[in-house]
Structure 1
């Protein structure tokens, strides 16, 4: 069985590829290795995957291009004929979408349409794709439930992810393509993205620089450890979305469908105050942070909290890694990778 992971050199893509290789699956990966953040970190992840594949005597095939390149993507599908596709390739970042909106249209909209078309024409058995908790936008009712409206995004990134959900549902309806969308809630852990808070804070604290604390520190996030994300994804890959037999078109569910399409929150369900998160990092590093308190940034939201009961019922797993444990593991990795002791 060949499993395609787009964005395989990214944070989540790397960890999922690693798990699948360990489980003896043939992973084929795509990543454009762009410079949104340090490409050397992405290349280091790829080196780790190649090393693991060699150790396990498993095939791992990789090619570098963007999913918006329809010709190269089609050639890749024809060559490897993946039976399942996990689309994690996207232009990430809420704040960057304000600076460079066209990057989001090309990768997150055009690129995702290319993925859908090729899944349709090659009879892929299951498409799992990344959405985001950002789609909840202006909602303030906590925790966020898949049954809440997501009609009021506050960033182009969020709008592009909601667009993915609508596009995938259309293909599930028209072509009977099983597709599952996952609304990720603030993923963190070893090999994480340098533009995310934990990475930025760690780098600044160890360099003796200020950390920027937005909304005067009054932020709440549903921080979710990477291993819990990967366990959930691994179980989902092999449990295809199915039509909801009880779907009522007069009172339509916002997370299921008459088509084989599902939407799930994927989070820790234990939201944490940002200052508590920073305190746990300070304790792990043994260094106090110099804090610069700032207003909320455009496109951001003050709080996120996930209702993950639907996903737990579907796959029989609930994320359970404590913040202190997850941060300690990240700090251990960071010190080792960057030789900071």
Structure 2
């Protein structure tokens, strides 16, 4: 009897272990602010049943002609700095929320980071050395925080494409410092061309795939729009044999939100709360039940919950919209 009981206990423990390993990442992309955060800023995140947050320390390049990556300066908001990251992370850790540290770069004079590439070998050296300092700073911070995931870059296609050896060496340097899981946030039209997925733990995708040209796409419209993209994701996943993580996903509450989901510059536009709900339901239907899918981080979530979003807002945040209620339901599943 004792042997049987011990066997049952071990078997039960293994089952719980397997279940915990397959639990999805139900994350939010938590936007940095000017201020420190407290319990009141975390409570809304807990209410939607989120178990992960992506915290995003920023860097910037002032001039593409001299592409030095600058960070931890007095020109950044508190939440965008290392001290801000540490403060935010410790508050979330108190509540048992897990972390992805996800550094972002900003081009001061405009432009898309995916197009960033140096024009001379000298400038490549400036970019590489300063980017290495930036990422290793946050690899050490991720180690200090015991963060579960570190994202080594966000939407940097030309930098990645033109300097593959730099990135392979950088991954080894990061591994020497930080022992958690690594990913890279590839733009939706970039992920198939990344050459170092085998050296990371997740295939990371910022999942702003074009899905529908309709004004208010139905859930079915969105799901049909996913089919070709999903096939390509599955093809890569089977080849690389790493789980897929949506390092960002989300939709605006605006007409035609499935046509170019990445567009953030249409400040004015008719509000369409239903389109946002339908898009979130569809992406969940298509991915969250797949064994090879790790989960994702909704874009985006602001700290001052009571002052953002709402039914007159056409931006990405689901806060204080029907989308927030849906996200709570989906994250509870």
TM-score range, shorter-chain basis? 0.3 to 0.5
Please report the TM-score for the alignment, with normalisation by the length of structure 1: 0.35
Relative to the length of structure 2, the TM-score reads: 0.36
